[in-house]
Amino acid sequence: MTMSQNLFLQTGDPDILAMKRGGIYLSLFGLPFLLAGIFVLQIPFDIVPVHLEERPIILALMLPLGFVFAIAGAALVFGRSGVTINRRDRTLVRWWGFLVPMKRTEYSIDIFEHVLLDIHAGDRHSGDTCIIHLVGSGHPYPFYIPSPADYEGARRTAEQLSRFLDIPLEDRVAAKQADTD
């Protein structure tokens, strides 16, 4: 599946750009895992009657398996994350939580010098994907921005981010393609 839309959405405030991940599609994907985990957790306690001869082995296997499925499902159903950029306050906030933001990390956008659009080479099981980073000497490592995997969508998102922050865009994907031609 390729995403062709920009991930960042202009909010009601022209100085705030926001991106959110999680929501209805991820929740629907995680719901079977959550329900399966809850169902499996009920077996060792005879809430769901299953009559097997090897009861201790079932308890030893079902509890960890149920917890793993329930926790993974709950994270997918209730988990949310995002990035909010505020030009007025000169801040970039990365947040995550369960239904509502619970943890936030704030950065100054002044430390970023350019937007980097690069390609992450896939292996024999997956294709190449485009990635976007904010790069600056004031930040020890590139700041990853979630982006569409396809080049066109990632390029539009990187351009939108570059215009919004008024910093240059370095497109290594196009440069690599030009080198191979």
DSSP assignment of 27-94 equals: HHHHHHHHHHHHHHHHTTTTSS----S-HHHHHHHHHHHHHHHHHHHHHHHHEEEEEEEETTTTEEEE
Q: pLDDT tens across 20-54, in order?
A: 888 788 889 999 999 999 999 888 777 877 776 66
Domain boundaries, the chain: 1-109, 112-181
Phi, psi of 12 (to 5 degrees): -65, -25
Answer yes or no: are the C-beta atoms of 100 and 27 closer than 8 Å.
no
Q: Which two tokens stand for residue 42?
A: 């009920």
Pull the structure tokens for residue 159: 């351009």
Given the structure tokens 């769901």, which residue do they identify? 48
Say how many residues make up the chain.
181
- Residue 178, pLDDT > 80, answer no
- Please write the tens of the pLDDT for every residue from 115-172: 999 887 777 777 778 888 898 877 677 888 888 778 888 899 899 999 999 999 998 8
- Residue 17 CA to chain centroid, in angstroms? 17
In angstroms, the Cα distances linking 121 to 27, 30, 127 are 29, 28, 7
Cα separation values, 8 from 37, 80, 84, 139, 158, Å: 34, 15, 9, 22, 10
